[in-house]
């Protein structure tokens, strides 16, 4: 299991107890070995693409630096301070954000992170920041994923309440946003035109129309029976088609997924959950209310020639 940033603090400070300057890369390697992390755990990423373990080392370093127990003589390198040695001499069992509040500099740092209302009063969110086992980036991304999951469920509920005609329009809008279908007019004419042998429409795979994709779109509540997929496969064979997409607001049983793996055609199954997530990802039927950007220092800007 990947340790929290607080669990990393004491081992990191012990690593620096030799009084030598250590790099972030070195700390990553040594602490990974100490915590016996697997390669899979070391490669685990945040949604932003940064390695989880390295991100937590970075925040452990940041908090201890703000507390004055370590210092950074140069970029991506750190060194223990006299205060840090004094702390180790106390033989602490752990170092936490709460325990670092003994140092005024760290208290000031956390105070600056407090959220305030429009009257300038603290909202109390600093307590959450101190007590959490997640880094600020992880907390932000976890909250984002929670909001996105809840939004996707709301989107799916809305889709299920629409008419079949509107559902066809929705599918067209989504496919166009995803880069399929050529022009809006082409896509709109293609979908719902066929209704032939288990096929609801034909759409271009790309704007040049180098290949075509046959579609089936079903607004259902119950899981899609395997017979529907077999009929769709038969329709592809009759058209000498190679690719198909079956979209539904419900779900597919495992037997259907096993079936499409065995056929010679490339069939993509999109269930209700995937459909809703694709709509959220491509902003179909949604309006952006707020955007929060996470920024980092541009170290190249500060390089002096």
Determine, yes or no, domain membership for 292.
Answer: no
Determine, yes or no, domain membership for 142.
Answer: no
CATH number of the domain that residue 98 is part of: 1.10.10.10
- Work out the percent of the chain whose per-residue pLDDT is above 70: 84
Q: What is the reported pLDDT for 209?
A: 66
259 CB neighbour count, 10 Å cutoff: 17
CATH number of the domain that residue 203 is part of: 3.40.1350.10
Q: Which is it for the CA torsion 258, 261, 265, 266, positive or negative?
A: positive
Asked if the model's pLDDT at residue 201 lies above 90, the reply is: no
Q: How far apart are CA 292 and CA 288, in angstroms?
A: 11
Asked if the model's pLDDT at residue 197 lies above 80, the reply is: no
Each residue of 35-84: pLDDT tens digit?
999 999 999 988 777 899 998 998 999 899 999 999 988 878 999 999 99
250 and 203 in a common domain: yes
Q: What is the reported pLDDT for 64?
A: 94
223 and 179 in a common domain: yes
Question: Which residue stretches of the chain are H helix?
Answer: 5-15, 24-34, 39-43, 52-66, 82-89, 104-112, 125-131, 136-160, 164-177, 184-190, 226-238, 254-262, 272-281
CB 124, CB 131: distance < 8 Å? no
Determine, yes or no, domain membership for 287.
Answer: no
Each residue of 231-248: pLDDT tens digit?
899 888 888 888 899 999
Determine, yes or no, domain membership for 264.
Answer: yes
SS3 content of the chain, % helix, strand, coil (to 5): 50, 15, 35
Q: How far apart are CA 236 and CA 198, in angstroms?
A: 9
> HSE of 82 in the Cβ direction (CA atoms, 13 Å)?
0
Domains of the chain: total: 2
CB 273, CB 157: distance < 8 Å? no
Determine, yes or no, domain membership for 153.
Answer: no
Identify the domain boundary among 134, 167, 201. 134
Higher pLDDT, 268 or 109: 268
Asked if the model's pLDDT at residue 132 lies above 90, the reply is: no
Each residue of 136-180: pLDDT tens digit?
888 888 788 878 888 898 899 899 998 888 888 888 888 888 888
169 and 113 in a common domain: no
Parent domain of 242? 158-281
Query: What is the SS3 assignment for 244?
Result: strand
Determine, yes or no, domain membership for 20.
Answer: yes
**How far is CA 99 from its chain centroid?**
31
The model carries a pTM of 0.64
Each residue of 219-232: pLDDT tens digit?
888 999 999 999 89
172 and 123 in a common domain: no
125 and 14 in a common domain: yes
215 and 126 in a common domain: no
Identify the domain boundary among 118, 134, 150. 134
CB 33, CB 82: distance < 8 Å? no
Q: What is the reported pLDDT for 87?
A: 97
CB 247, CB 215: distance < 8 Å? yes
Asked if the model's pLDDT at residue 120 lies above 60, the reply is: no
């Amino acid at each position: 299991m990947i340790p929290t940033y607080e669990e990393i603090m004491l081992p990191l400070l012990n690593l620096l107890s030799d009084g030598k300057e250590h790099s972030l890369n070195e700390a990553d390697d040594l602490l990974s070995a100490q915590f016996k992390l697997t390669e899979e755990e070391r490669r685990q990423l945040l949604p932003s693409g940064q390695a989880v373990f390295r991100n937590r080392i970075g925040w452990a370093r940041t908090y201890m630096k703000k507390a004055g127990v370590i210092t950074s003589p140069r970029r991506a390198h750190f060194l223990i301070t006299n205060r840090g040695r004094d702390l180790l001499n106390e033989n602490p069992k752990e170092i936490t954000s709460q325990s670092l509040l003994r140092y005024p500099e760290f208290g000031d740092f956390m105070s600056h992170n407090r959220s305030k209302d429009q009257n300038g009063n603290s909202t109390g969110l600093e307590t959450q920041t101190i007590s959490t086992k997640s880094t600020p980036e992880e907390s932000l991304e976890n909250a984002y994923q929670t909001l996105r999951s809840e939004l996707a469920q709301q989107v799916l509920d809305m889709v299920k309440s629409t008419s079949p005609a509107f559902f066809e329009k929705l599918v067209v809008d989504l496919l166009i946003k995803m880069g399929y279908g050529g022009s809006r007019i082409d896509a709109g004419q293609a979908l719902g035109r066929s209704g032939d042998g288990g096929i609801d429409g034909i759409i271009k795979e790309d704007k040049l129309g180098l290949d075509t994709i046959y579609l089936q779109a079903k607004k259902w509540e119950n899981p899609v029976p395997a017979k529907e997929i077999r009929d769709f496969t038969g329709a592809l064979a009759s058209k000498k088609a190679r690719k198909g997409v079956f979209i539904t607001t419900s779900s597919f049983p495992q037997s259907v997924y096993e079936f499409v793996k065995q056929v010679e055609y490339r069939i993509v199954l999109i269930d209700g959950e995937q459909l809703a997530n694709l709509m959220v990802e491509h902003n179909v039927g949604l309006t952006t209310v707020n955007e929060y950007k996470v920024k980092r220092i541009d170290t190249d800007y500060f390089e002096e020639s």
